[in-house]
Amino acid sequence: MIIFPAIDIKDGKCVRLLKGDFNKITSYDNLPVKQASIFFKSGFKDIHIVDLDGALLGKSKNSAIIKEIIKKVKLRIQIGGGIRNIDCIHSWLEVGVDKVIMGTAAIENIDLLENACKKFKNKIAIALDVRNGLIALSGWKRQTNISALDFIKKIENFGVSRIIYTDINKDGTKKGPNIKDTIELSSKVKIPLVISGGISSINDIKKIKSLNNPNVEGVIVGKSIYDGDIKINDLVELI
């Protein structure tokens, strides 16, 4: 199971949101490049980066910072936030990103998603940010009535490499991830899922790992690391 420590960037800083609310934002002392270096030196192999400004604006605003991270650390990086076209995907892959995460653009333009998967084989991930089973878009600001399961069924044969499944109601709460719904979803789809949102302790990670579910590829951990609820060394031991 892959453990992805998360770096969410807004206005050049590491931040975490509460339930996707940009009015409930916590900033942290370490700048993104320093935080990425800490993760790398600690022994992580993968990292999850989201440009929150990009998610809101529809285009990357923190690309210079992210490119500096790519240069300084030898990590497999998956990047999301404001990725809305083929040229943007290509530019990230060119600088060494492992997976490019599409969100709003993938849901609003299925043809674009299909083309991207064909052009960049095994490089396209999808972020499904879900509130009560329904997908939210544009940095979680815009709620749709699109069922996550229905959408996955539509795109199941495109060649999407993984789905980052975030329960918005859990994200940033540290009240435990929505394992039940994610596992239920994983049993109905073929694309590997990554659990995101609500991780509260090392026991949450151990529980997910103990499931030995071949369709749950990994878990993303954010706020619990930054707040010290999960020690980085303890987390690395579970890789």
Domain extents for the chain?
2-236
Q: What is the pLDDT of residue 236?
A: 96
Protein fold of 2-236: TIM Barrel (3.20.20)
pLDDT tens, residue by residue, 91-137: 999 999 999 999 888 999 999 999 999 999 999 999 998 888 899 88
Instruction: At 151, list the tokens.
Output: 């959408």
Q: Which residues of the chain have pLDDT under 70?
A: 19-21, 138-141, 171-173
Cα–Cα distance, 63 to 33 (Å, whole number):
12
Query: What pLDDT is attached to residue 57?
Result: 79
pLDDT of res. 141: 67
Distance CA 188, CA 149 (A): 8
Please give the C-alpha separations between residue 53 and each of 14, 26, 38, 138, 179, in angstroms, as whole numbers. 12, 15, 23, 10, 28
- Say what the pLDDT of residue 82 is: 86
Name the phi and psi angles at 136, rounded to 5.
Answer: -110, 150
From 92, 107, 28, select the one nearest 60 (Cα to Cα). 92
- pLDDT number for residue 140: 61
Integer Cα distance of 76 and 49 in angstroms: 11
Tell me the catalytic residues: 8, 129
Handedness of CA 223, 226, 227, 231 (dihedral sign): positive
